[in-house]
Amino acid sequence: MADFFSKAEVTSSGRPVLLRSEVECHLLSSVDIESEDNHHFYPLKSGLLILTTHRLLWLPSSSSSSTSSAAAIPLHAISHIFSTKKSLKSMFHSPRIRFQVLVSPDGRLFDPASGSGSSSGSGSKSIVLTAVVRGKGDCDGFLGKLWESWRARAWECNETSGSGSGSGSGTGTSTATSGGLYSSDGSVRMVGVAGILRKEQEMWESTDKSLQDAFQDLNALMSKAKEMVMLAEKMRQKLLSGSSSQTSGANDEDMGSKEEMQDWLLSVGIISPVTKESAGALYHQQLSRQLADFVRTPLQRAGGMINLIDAYCLFNRARGTELISPDDMLQACSLWEKFDVPVMLRKFDSGVMVIQNKSHSDEEVFARIKGLVTKPEALRSGISPSDAAITLGIAPAMAKEHLLTAESKGLLCRDISPDGFRFYINLFPEIDPRDVYLLK
Amino acid sequence: MQKLGEFKLPHFFNYPPYFTLQPVREAREKQVQLWKELILDYCRTQKIFVIGLEEEFPLFSNSVIERTLSHEAREAFLSALVSEGHAEWLDKGHRKCLILWHRIQDWAEIILNFVKDNGFEHSVMTVEEIRSGIESRGTELHGIDRMILMRALKLLQQKGKLAIFKGTSADDEGVKFSV
C-alpha cells in the first residue's frame, strides 16, 4: 500500500519541506526501505534517506519509478532501533539499519500529527523496517545520529508549543506529552539521562532561536535600508535646491545646519552634491591635515616625492578601518594649498600625480641629473630611468617623471630603441648646421 | 670620420637621440633642420632622386650605434622637405618621395645655362641626350631623373623657351630650343 507512510512534502526542486524548527542531521543515498514481512507496503527502492530532528524522510531519486512519492517516518513512531550486528555475513551485505515502528489499527504507520490515535498507548502493533544502504554513505554515522535524534525527542517540545498555541489554552499540556518528563504544571523536569539530553536540546534550541532573532533584525535592517537610502536622497535634493535657490533670507542658522548635514552625509559616505561649497567641509579639512601629517614619513623614505596612488594605499592601510575613497584623497590633497602645510600635490604633464615636499626643488634635481648625464659613460650610452632612480634615491617611476620634465626644459633628449627608453644630454643646441663636420 | 660610401657623415650622426623623433619643440626643430640638410646633401652627391620610405635607405640607419629612423620619423623629415618645396610625395600613401635638391625652377635655370654654355639656343635634341649626352657629363644634368627633367622642360615650354615633340621612336621625345 502506497500510503503506508506519512506524506512528506517536497518543493518543486525536490527538496523536502521541513517543519518548524526541524533540522536536517544526516543523509544517505541509494537506500531501500523494506518491511521484514513485506506485507504492508511495496518496498521503496533506491532513494535518498534524510534524517532530521523530527523525521526520517525518504525521497525518491529521479531514476526510481514515478509511482513512489516522498515518504516520511516520524521519529515518534519508532519504538526501537536495533543495533547492528557485526557478523561475517554483514561484511558482504550492504549495511542495514533496522528499527521497529508502531502501526496504527488501520494498517498505516503511526503518525501523531495526523491525529490517528493518541499517545503511545494505542498502536500495539509494530513491525520492523529495514533501510538497506546501497550507496557509499556513512551508515554507522547515520545510525548514531538516528539514535541521538530519536532520543532527543525534538518533536515533543514543538508539539507542546504548537498544540498549545493551536488549542489556545495556556496550560501547555498536550496530548503528545509522554510520561514522566513533564511535571503536572507543564514544566519540564530534568531527570536522569533523558534530563541531560533535554537540557542540551534546550540549549541548542535557545541558540537557534537567538540566531533566528538576529536574522530577523538583519531582515528588518534590510527593509529599513531602503528607507534610509530614500531619506538620504531627499536630503541631498534639499541641499541641492537649497544651495541653488540662494535666497537672501537664508540666515546663519540655516546655513549652519546645512553644513552640518553635509558633514554628516560625508561622514556616512554619501558624496555631497554641492562639491564646490563642500570645499570647506569640516570632514575634508580634518582629513587633509591628518594626511599631511601622515605623509611626512613616507616622503622622507621615498626621497621627497611619492606617487599619489602609493600614498593612498599607505594611508588607507594605516587607517585600518574607515577607509577613504580616492575622491576623498584628492579633495584632501587639493585643500593643502589653503593651509600652511609643508607638502603639495603636483601633476606632471604625463598625468601622473605626486605628493612632494614644498621644499623640494626641481632645480636641485636637474643639477643632479645633469651631473649624472655628463659622466663619460652616460655621454656614450645615456641614462635610463633606473640609473637616475639609483642616483636620486627615488622610485624609477618618479625618476622617469623627473627625466621627462628635464627633457621638456631642454636639458635632456630622448633615445628610443630596442634597448629601451634612455636619455642623453641635449646636444642639439650645440650643433651648428654650418659646421657639421667639426668635432666639438 | 664616418663615411657612407664616399659621403662624409656629420659627427652628430653618431648621437643616438638624433634617430629618435624628439617631442620637445626646440629640439625637434633643430633635429628636423639637420635631417633635411643631410638628406638633400646626400641625395645630391649620390644622385638619388626618389626615396622609398619602406625601403632600406642607408642614410636612415646607423649600424655603429644600432639605431634606425622609425617610419614616423622618416615621414616627418620628408614632409618637412615637401613643405619647403624640396620634395614631393609621389603617392597618397606617402610611400615614395621625389627629392628636389634643386627645385623645378632651379633645374629649369640649369637647363637654360646648359643650353647657353653649349650654344644650343636653336638646336634640337632628344630628352635622353640632355640627360646622358656627352655635353651633359660633368654637369648636374647628367643622370637627372627623367620625371624631373620633363617637368623642368615643360616649365620652360610654358615660358616659350622650347617646344617638346614626340620623336621618331615611341619612347623618346625631342626638344626644340628657342632661347
User: Is residue B88 domain-shared with residue B170, that is, in the same domain?
Assistant: no
Domain boundaries, position B115 = 104-177
Residue A77 lies in a domain: yes
Please give the pLDDT value at position A273: 45
Please give the pLDDT value at position A165: 38
Amino acid at B36: K
Predicted complex: ipTM over 0.85: no
Sort out which chain B residues have CB atoms less than 8 A from A429's CB and list them: 26, 30
User: Is residue B27 domain-shared with residue B58, that is, in the same domain?
Assistant: yes
How many distinct structural domains can be found in chain A? 3
User: Is residue B80 domain-shared with residue B111, that is, in the same domain?
Assistant: no
Which residues share a beta bridge with B4? B7
* pLDDT, mean of residues B101-110: 90
How many distinct structural domains can be found in chain B? 2
User: Is residue A307 domain-shared with residue A397, that is, in the same domain?
Assistant: no
User: Is residue B64 domain-shared with residue B151, that is, in the same domain?
Assistant: no
Please give the pLDDT value at position A174: 38
Q: Which of B79, B99, B119 is the last residue of a domain?
A: B99
Q: Check if A432 contacts B (Cβ < 8 Å).
A: no
Which residues share a beta bridge with A149? none
CB contact under 8 A, B27 and A413: yes
Q: Is the separation of the CB atoms in A7 and A69 below 8 Å? A: yes
Q: In this prediction, what percent of chain B has a pLDDT beyond 90?
A: 36
User: Is residue B95 domain-shared with residue B121, that is, in the same domain?
Assistant: no
Among B8, B15, B20, whose Cβ lies nearest the Cβ of A437? B8
Report pTM. Answer: 0.52
Residue A251 lies in a domain: no
- For A:139-198, CB contacts with B below 8 A are none
Give the integer Cα–Cα distance in Å for B56 and A175: 105
User: Is residue B88 domain-shared with residue B119, that is, in the same domain?
Assistant: no
- For A:412-431, CB contacts with B below 8 A are 413-417, 419, 422, 424, 426-429, 431
Domain boundaries, position A44 = 6-112+123-154
User: Is residue B18 domain-shared with residue B94, that is, in the same domain?
Assistant: yes
B78, pLDDT greater than 90: yes
Q: Centre a 10 Å sphere on the Cβ of residue A289 and count the other Cβ atoms it contains.
A: 15
Q: What is the pLDDT of residues B111-139, one digit of tens each?
A: 999 888 888 888 888 888 888 888 888 88
Which residue of A381, A403, A407, A413 is the best one to mutate when testing the B interface, meaning the one whose CB has the most B CBs within 10 A?
A413
Among A415, A427, A438, whose Cβ lies nearest the Cβ of B20? A415
Q: Domain holding A339: CATH number?
A: 1.10.10.10
User: Is residue B22 domain-shared with residue B93, that is, in the same domain?
Assistant: yes
User: Is residue A147 domain-shared with residue A10, that is, in the same domain?
Assistant: yes
Q: Which of B99, B117, B135 is the last residue of a domain?
A: B99
Q: Is the separation of the CB atoms in A368 and A321 below 8 Å? A: no
Q: Check if B15 contacts A (Cβ < 8 Å).
A: yes
Sort out which chain A residues have CB atoms less than 8 A from B35's CB and list them: none
Q: Check if B80 contacts A (Cβ < 8 Å).
A: no
Amino acid at B177: F
User: Is residue A321 domain-shared with residue A423, that is, in the same domain?
Assistant: no
User: Is residue A62 domain-shared with residue A91, that is, in the same domain?
Assistant: yes
- For A:10-49, CB contacts with B below 8 A are none
Cβ density class A147-180: b for 16+ within 10 Å, e for less: eebbebbbbbbbbbebbbeeeeeeebebebbeee
Among B10, B16, B26, whose Cβ lies nearest the Cβ of A424? B16
Give the integer Cα–Cα distance in Å for B98 and A187: 111
| A-chain residue closest to B20, CA distance | A415
Q: Domain holding B17: CATH number?
A: 1.10.10.570
User: Is residue B89 domain-shared with residue B115, that is, in the same domain?
Assistant: no
Q: Check if B24 contacts A (Cβ < 8 Å).
A: yes
CB contact under 8 A, A440 and B11: yes
| A81 grid coordinates | 532501533
Which residue of A408, A431, A437 is the best one to mutate when testing the B interface, meaning the one whose CB has the most B CBs within 10 A?
A431
Give the integer Cα–Cα distance in Å for A229 and A222: 11
Q: Which of B99, B120, B147 is the last residue of a domain?
A: B99
Please give the pLDDT value at position A398: 85
Please give the pLDDT value at position A309: 93
Q: Domain holding B157: CATH number?
A: 1.10.10.10
Distance, in angstroms, between A428 CA and closest chain B CA?
A: 6
User: Is residue A21 domain-shared with residue A129, that is, in the same domain?
Assistant: yes
User: Is residue A44 domain-shared with residue A79, that is, in the same domain?
Assistant: yes
Please give the pLDDT value at position A113: 57
Please give the pLDDT value at position A67: 57
CB contact under 8 A, A424 and B11: no
Please give the pLDDT value at position A167: 38
Distance, in angstroms, between A411 CA and closest chain B CA?
A: 10
User: Is residue B128 domain-shared with residue B110, that is, in the same domain?
Assistant: yes
Among A382, A408, A439, whose Cβ lies nearest the Cβ of B16? A382
Q: Beta strand A55-60 with A420-425: parallel, antiparallel or unpaired?
A: unpaired
User: Is residue A104 domain-shared with residue A148, that is, in the same domain?
Assistant: yes
**DSSP conformation letters of A108-144:** SB--GGGT-S-STTS--EEEEEEEEE-SSS-HHHHHH
Q: Which of A327, A349, A371 is the last residue of a domain?
A: A349
User: Is residue A407 domain-shared with residue A368, that is, in the same domain?
Assistant: yes
| DSSP tally for chain A: helices H, then strands E | 13, 13
Q: How many CB pairs under 8 A join A and B?
A: 65
Please give the pLDDT value at position A176: 41
Give, for all 440 residues of chain A, the pLDDT tens digit. 456 788 888 876 677 888 877 888 888 888 888 887 766 677 888 888 888 888 888 888 765 555 567 888 888 888 888 887 777 776 777 888 888 888 887 777 777 655 444 444 454 678 888 888 888 778 888 888 888 888 888 877 654 444 433 333 333 333 344 445 555 555 656 678 888 888 888 888 888 888 888 777 777 777 777 777 777 777 777 777 765 554 444 445 555 666 676 666 666 665 544 444 444 566 777 788 888 888 888 888 887 888 999 999 998 888 877 788 898 899 888 888 887 888 889 888 888 899 988 878 788 888 888 888 988 888 888 899 998 888 888 888 888 888 998 999 889 999 998 888 899 999 888 887 776 554 33
Please give the pLDDT value at position B60: 92
Q: Check if B22 contacts A (Cβ < 8 Å).
A: yes
User: Is residue A10 domain-shared with residue A150, that is, in the same domain?
Assistant: yes
Q: Is the separation of the CB atoms in B36 and B79 below 8 Å? A: no
CB contact under 8 A, A410 and B24: yes
User: Is residue A139 domain-shared with residue A18, that is, in the same domain?
Assistant: yes
Distance, in angstroms, between B26 CA and closest chain A CA?
A: 8
Q: Domain holding A108: CATH number?
A: 2.30.29.30
User: Is residue A377 domain-shared with residue A340, that is, in the same domain?
Assistant: no
Residue A188 lies in a domain: no
Q: What is the pLDDT of residues B6-65, one digit of tens each?
A: 788 888 898 999 999 999 999 999 999 999 999 999 998 888 899 999 888 889 999 888
**Burial class of residue A197 (count of CB atoms within 10 Å of its CB; 0-12, 13-18, 19+):** middle
Residue A69 lies in a domain: yes
Q: What is the pLDDT of residues B50-77, one digit of tens each?
A: 999 988 888 999 988 889 999 999 999 9
User: Is residue A102 domain-shared with residue A54, that is, in the same domain?
Assistant: yes
User: Is residue B41 domain-shared with residue B55, that is, in the same domain?
Assistant: yes
Give the integer Cα–Cα distance in Å for B159 and B157: 5
User: Is residue B10 domain-shared with residue B82, that is, in the same domain?
Assistant: yes
